[in-house]
Copies of this chain bind each other. A is one copy, B any other.
Amino acid sequence: MSRELHLAGFLIASHVTHSHAAWRHPASETDYLGPGYYQRVARTLERGKFDFLFFADLLATPVRYGNDIRVPLQSGTQASATLDPSLVAAGLANVTDRIGLAITKSTTYFHPYEVARIFATLDHLSGGRAGWNVVTSLNQAEAQNFGAQDHLGHDERYERAQEFLEVAYKLWGSWDTDALVRDKVSGVFADPDKVRTVDHEGTWFKTRGPLTVPHSPQSRPVIIQAGSSPVGKDFAARWAEAIFEIDPTPEGRRAYYDDVKSRAVNFGRNPDDIKIFPSFVPFVGETESIAREKQAFHNELADPISGLITLSVHTDHDFSRYDLDAPLEDLVVPGTQGLFDVARRLSASENLTLRDIGKLYAQGVLLPQFVGTAEQVADQIEAGFTGGEADGYILSAAQAPGTFHDFVDFVVPELQRRGLFRTEYTGSTLRDHLGLGPASLTPAARRASVVA
Interface residues of A (CB under 8 A from B): 13, 15, 23-26, 28, 30, 33-35, 39, 58-61, 63, 69-71, 73-76, 79-84, 86-88, 90-95, 109-111, 113-114, 117-118, 120-122, 124-125, 127, 141, 144-148, 175, 180, 182, 184-185, 187-192, 195-197, 205-210, 212-214, 301, 303
Select which of B60, B75, B83, B208 is within 8 A of A144 by beta carbon. B208
Hey, which chain B residues are within 8 Å of A120, CB to CB? 83
> Assembly of this chain: how many copies?
2
Greatest chain B CB density within 10 A among A15, A187, A301 is at: A187
Q: How far is the CB of A279 from chain B (nearest CB, A)?
A: 22
Separation of A207 and B212 alpha carbons in the complex (Å): 29
Please judge, given known A-B contacts A88-B90, A146-B207, whether A69 and B192 are in contact too, CB under 8 Å: yes
Contact A88 B121 (CB under 8 A): yes
- Are B34 and A125 within 8 A (Cβ)? yes
Query: Which of A74, A141, A191 gathers most chain B CB within 10 Å?
Result: A74
Tell whether, in the assembled complex, residue A147 and residue B212 are in contact, meaning their CB atoms are under 8 Å apart.
no
Q: Given A24-B184, A87-B87, A147-B205, list of 13 further CB < 8 A pairs?
A: A15-B189, A73-B190, A74-B192, A81-B175, A81-B213, A83-B125, A84-B117, A87-B122, A87-B125, A91-B125, A95-B95, A114-B146, A146-B207
**Closest CB-CB distance, A270 to chain B, in whole Å?**
31
Contacts of A30 in B (CB 8 A): 182, 184
What is the bound-complex CA distance between A66 and B81, given in angstroms? 48
- Give Cα A148–Cα B111 distance, bound, in whole angstroms: 12
Complex: A58 Cα to B212 Cα, angstroms? 9
A124 CB contact (under 8 Å) in B24, B34, B122, B124? B34
A-B contact pairs, 12 of them (CB 8 A): A23-B184, A35-B93, A59-B113, A73-B190, A76-B190, A81-B189, A90-B90, A111-B146, A144-B206, A144-B207, A145-B207, A187-B301
Decide: A86 and B83 in contact? CB cutoff 8 A. Answer: no
Which of the listed residues A25, A70, A81, A82 has the most CB atoms from chain B within 10 Å of its own CB?
Answer: A81
A82: which B residues are within 8 A, CB to CB?
212-213
Interface pair A35/B91, CB less than 8 Å apart: no
C-alpha gap A75/B186 in the complex (Å): 9
Smallest CB-CB separation from A82: which chain B residue? B212
Given the complex of chains A and B, what is the CA–CA distance between A210 and B214 in angstroms? 36
Q: How far is the CB of A438 from chain B (nearest CB, A)?
A: 19
Compute how far the CA of A58 lies from the CA of B113 in the bound complex, rounded to whole angstroms: 13
Please report whether the interface of chain A is mostly helix, strand, loop or mixed according to DSSP.
loop
A83 touching B147 in the complex, CB below 8 Å, given contacts A114-B109, A212-B59: no
The reply to whether A23 and B212 contact each other, CB–CB distance below 8 Å, is no
User: B182 and A145: CB pair below 8 A?
Assistant: no
Residues of B contacting A182 in the complex (Cβ-Cβ under 8 angstroms) = 15, 23, 30, 76
Contact of A147 among B35, B109, B127, B206 (CB under 8 A): B206
Q: Could you say which residues of chain B place their CB within 8 Å of the CB of A144?
A: 206-208
A91 and B88 contact, CB distance less than 8 A:
no
A74-B188, A87-B122 as given contacts; A141 in contact with B34, CB under 8 Å: no
In the bound complex, how far is the Cα of B144 from the Cα of A111, in angstroms?
12
Collect the chain B residues with CB atoms within 8 Å of residue A94's CB.
Answer: 35, 39, 91-92, 94-95
Residues of B close to A148: CB separation below 8 A: 206
**How many Å from the CB of A172 to the closest CB on chain B?**
14
Q: Which residue of A125, A141, A303 has the most chain B CB atoms within 10 A of its CB atom?
A: A125
Who on chain B is nearest to A32 by CB?
Answer: B124
Measured in the bound complex, the distance between the Cα atoms of B82 and A430 in whole Å is 23
List residues of chain B with CB within 8 A of the CB of A113: 59, 145-147
A301 partner residues in chain B, CB cutoff 8 A? 187
